[in-house]
Structure 1
Amino acid sequence: MDLNPSTTAVIACHFENDIVGANGAFAPFFRTQIDQRNVLDAAGRLLNGVRAKNAQVVYVRVAFQAGHSDLVSNTPLLSMVAQQGSLLDDSFGSEIINELKPADDDWIVTNPKVSAFASSNLDERLRQAGIDTVVLFGVATNVSVESSGRAAGDLGYRVIIASDACSAASEEAHQATLDSFGLLGEVASTDEILSAL
């Protein structure tokens, strides 16, 4: 594997208090696997290593306006957001967790969808920056990471999932995405990605 830092962006998906925080609204679903797989440690190592190589770091936040006025609850997952009253913009729950705080040069993209590319300006910003490769990681592997990866592939990007920097509600769900994504992109470890840069 070979990666050019000037044309590569790493996209951290949904490292928000409500999703990955120990007491977040979705902690009952995701926190056990986050801890068991040491996802936050791997994600921190990847982010710091990428910054040292001068590649672009992007954080994607899912957040909704007051009263969830922009929430389309057409899926069970999004219906749960409305029921819990979670992930409101400008709330603690939608902030990036302290362990992985963005640096000054990092981008933060906020949208009300599961995929990083839906209802956002991410594609436009990446193209303007000359990015042709994206490395995706975060929570959940089989939801936001996979959805964003499929969208990125359809838009023409080279797509890599950082396997040890993401997790799902179960190891089986996580692994199922990694097993199938090899047909759509690449799967690599944090160490392999940093070495390739």
Structure 2
Amino acid sequence: MHRPAVIALHYQNDILHPDGLIRVGLSEDDQKRTQLLVAAKKMLDGARAHGWPIIHVRVAYRHDYADLIQNAPILKSVANIGAVKEGSWGSDFYQALAPREDCFNEHVVTHKRINPFYDTQLCVLLRGLNIERVLIAGVATHSVVESTARHAVDCGFHVTVAADACASASSESHNHSLNSMRLIAEVSDVQSTLEALK
């Protein structure tokens, strides 16, 4: 089997840092936040050890949000709270999970919609890397993660979701989304996935 690619979604300051504007309900002392950070780092380190490509996906908008079509409540909320503005600390990657400049096979994709395949080079990049299988994780499970998984399946990729490297504002939303994705993807934890795909 061809090597997989990791798609790491929205590991950004506004979403993961205790001082971030979004944080999807993950407070500084929340055990779920700690577990997510540990699992996500393990996933990225494992991918690097195996030489797998990593695509770090970020969301960011102009300071005036002229590039944000606010046709959904979640998108309106981003503008209302002033989150993930291009060039701001909040739109930067969370330091522990940021791309490594010394790794040639780490890539960054910036998107504007919920689905990071929409109007980006993500699919072209995966095809150019000769990828057939993707390992997806990020925040939030029921939003960008599920949207990415569904689009990837429709594009013909085999999809695995690393559940412990994902999170939502509530455990209920997280678990419902994982159960929904089990119809289209493998859902596992980081350790088991690294062992299965190596």
| Cα-to-partner distance string for 1:59-86 (whole Å, 9 max, x where unaligned) | 1000112311110111111101111121
Number of aligned residues: 192
Please list, as runs of the form range in 1=range in 2, the aligned pairs for 1:80-99 lying within 5 A after superposition: 80-99=77-96
Rounded to whole Å, the distance in 1 between the matches of 2:54 and 2:29 is 21
Q: CA deviation at 1:21?
A: 1.3
Distance 1:163 1:19, change over 3 A: same
Partner residue in 1 for 2:14:
18
- Report if aligned partners of 1:33, 1:171 keep a CA contact under 8 Å in 2: no
1:31 pairs with one of 14, 18, 26: 26
TM-score of the superposition, structure 1-length normalised? 0.93
Rounded to whole Å, the distance in 1 between the matches of 2:86 and 2:158 is 31
Is 1:129 the counterpart of 2:129 in the alignment?
yes
Partner residue in 1 for 2:155:
155
Distance 1:127 1:55, change over 3 A: same
- Equivalent AA in structure 2 for residue 68 of structure 1: Y
| Cα-to-partner distance string for 1:149-191 (whole Å, 9 max, x where unaligned) | 0111111111111011101011111000111111111101101
Please list, as runs of the form range in 1=range in 2, the aligned pairs for 1:154-173 lying within 5 A after superposition: 154-173=154-173
- Report if aligned partners of 1:163, 1:189 keep a CA contact under 8 Å in 2: yes
Rounded to whole Å, the distance in 1 between the matches of 2:173 and 2:48 is 30
- Equivalent AA in structure 1 for residue 4 of structure 2: T
Q: How many percent identity over aligned positions?
A: 36
- Equivalent AA in structure 2 for residue 118 of structure 1: Y
- Report if aligned partners of 2:18, 2:27 keep a CA contact under 8 Å in 1: no
- The secondary structure found in structure 1 opposite 2:58 is strand
- 5+ residue gaps, structure 2, are none
TM-score of the superposition, structure 2-length normalised? 0.93
- The secondary structure found in structure 2 opposite 1:94 is coil
- Equivalent AA in structure 1 for residue 66 of structure 2: S
Partner residue in 2 for 1:112:
112
- 5+ residue gaps, structure 1, are none
| Cα-to-partner distance string for 1:8-46 (whole Å, 9 max, x where unaligned) | 11111001111111111112x331499422101100011
Distance 1:108 1:35, change over 3 A: farther
Distance 1:67 1:125, change over 3 A: same
- Equivalent AA in structure 2 for residue 53 of structure 1: H
Q: CA deviation at 1:88?
A: 1.0
Distance 1:118 1:35, change over 3 A: farther
Rounded to whole Å, the distance in 2 between the matches of 1:52 and 1:35 is 29
- Report if aligned partners of 2:8, 2:137 keep a CA contact under 8 Å in 1: yes
- The secondary structure found in structure 2 opposite 1:86 is coil
Partner residue in 2 for 1:42:
39
Name the one with the larger helix percent: 1
- Report if aligned partners of 1:49, 1:194 keep a CA contact under 8 Å in 2: yes
CA RMSD of aligned residues (A): 1.5
Is 1:66 the counterpart of 2:63 in the alignment?
yes
